[in-house]
Structure 1
Amino acid sequence: MAIDVQPAVTPHLVVDDAPAAIDFYVKAFGATEIGRVPRPDGKLIHAALQINGAMVMLNDDFPEMSDGKSMTPPALGGTPVTIHLTVTDVDDKFQRALDAGATVVMPLEDQFWGDRYGVVLDPFGHQWSLGQPVREVSYDEIQHAMSQA
């Protein structure tokens, strides 16, 4: 029997305290937990959530699986990746993330490309941007705005 596989790109986050991260993502982004696989000591080797209609996977940090090095953003000195959420009611969603424990990286503001947009850092070191399209902007307008920066 063949398994139907749909192409996808799925963020897979490494965190310290995966159960706490799941709780945060539920509070901050309205995540729905799909499932988790703990090992006998309780650390999660796999968890899956749905956030904003998309799958996000995560697991606890296992330095023993990466040459003894922690793979969490704090251990690595930050993250070069931002996970973007296009949402409705961005002001409400942004505040919800802050109320859950996120911190502001970039304040929520109307941007020249037509979105109301801001960036938060979750308590586990992962960066999330939230944006809501608020007006149509042509490519020429974006190029002009960039040339004025």
Structure 2
Amino acid sequence: MAKALRKVLEEHNLQLSHSACLEIVARQLGFANWQVLSAVCEHEKQLAVIVFVEHGRQQEAAAFYRSAFNASHMGTHEDSNVLYAIDLDLGGIKITVSGANPRREAEPHRGGPFFPKANGAVNSIFSLTVADAEKTLQQAIAAGGTIRNRLEISDERKRVASFFDPFGHVWALTETQRVKISPRELDELRAAELARIREARCITPAPEPAGHNL
């Protein structure tokens, strides 16, 4: 940014040192001086996610995330012309799809990381906030995902759902906006959903104890 400022000034026959331009940039961004801005930037924290899949399925996984979440391709990583990871941008978050090291898979004492061997055989869930949970869930299922929890309304009155991607990872969806619904309507929806689940599983509710009317 300081270089760009110097270039603009030079176009107008104005000369300022690089350090002076740095000070101007810092003050325009609301900092006391360049040293303060530099210190803040050095301590800035950023989180990136690495999703491990079975080695050889990286392109398949990247294609799924592009279809399910409209993720965009950022780049690839290769070693001796062998693809081992793909970088994606998912809503401003960098996600790297990496193939699990076959040697570590064959020798667990090396400590992984390993790819999931079954749906949900993981120790973390990817939580994604979206504008339309139903649409995102439909996209994910159409791309090859499997429903884990159907679309429902949470205690916070937001539509939520979850699914397994084709590689065993769990994705939880939460809608941005709250649903306009009364507590009574929410209870009725949940009762209806519970009845549906019981019917699907052929579960008969246990009889209430005699005299119990609460």
Class of the TM-score when normalised by the shorter of the 2 chains: 0.7 to 0.9
Letter in 2 for 1:37: H
- Further displaced range: 10-19 or 118-127: 10-19
Counterpart check, 1:31 vs 2:71: yes
Deviations 1:8-59 (A, max 9, x none): 2222111021111001110111111111112336341x32111122111121
Helix, strand or coil for the counterpart of 1:73?
Answer: coil
> Do the aligned partners of 2:71 and 2:90 also contact (CA within 8 Å) in 1?
yes
Letter in 2 for 1:7: K
Aligned to 1:21: 61
> Do the aligned partners of 2:120 and 2:164 also contact (CA within 8 Å) in 1?
no
Counterpart check, 1:82 vs 2:122: no
Helix, strand or coil for the counterpart of 2:82?
Answer: coil
> Do the aligned partners of 1:114 and 1:133 also contact (CA within 8 Å) in 2?
no
Unaligned runs of 5+ in 2: 1-37, 188-214
Aligned to 1:51: 90
> Do the aligned partners of 1:119 and 1:130 also contact (CA within 8 Å) in 2?
yes
Deviations 1:63-110 (A, max 9, x none): 324672360011797112110110102111110001000001111111
- C-alpha separation in 2, matches of 1:116 and 1:11: 25
More helix by percentage: 2
Larger RCO (alpha carbons 8 Å, 6+ apart): 1
Unaligned runs of 5+ in 1: none
Aligned to 1:109: 152
- C-alpha separation in 1, matches of 2:132 and 2:94: 21
RMSD: 2.7
> Do the aligned partners of 1:117 and 1:131 also contact (CA within 8 Å) in 2?
yes
Displacement after TM superposition at 1:113 (Å):
1.7
> Number of residue pairs matched?
136
More strand by percentage: 1
> Do the aligned partners of 1:52 and 1:85 also contact (CA within 8 Å) in 2?
no
- Decide which of 113, 138, 153 is 1:95's aligned counterpart: 138
- C-alpha separation in 1, matches of 2:173 and 2:143: 15
Aligned to 2:206: none
**Percent of residue pairs identical:** 25
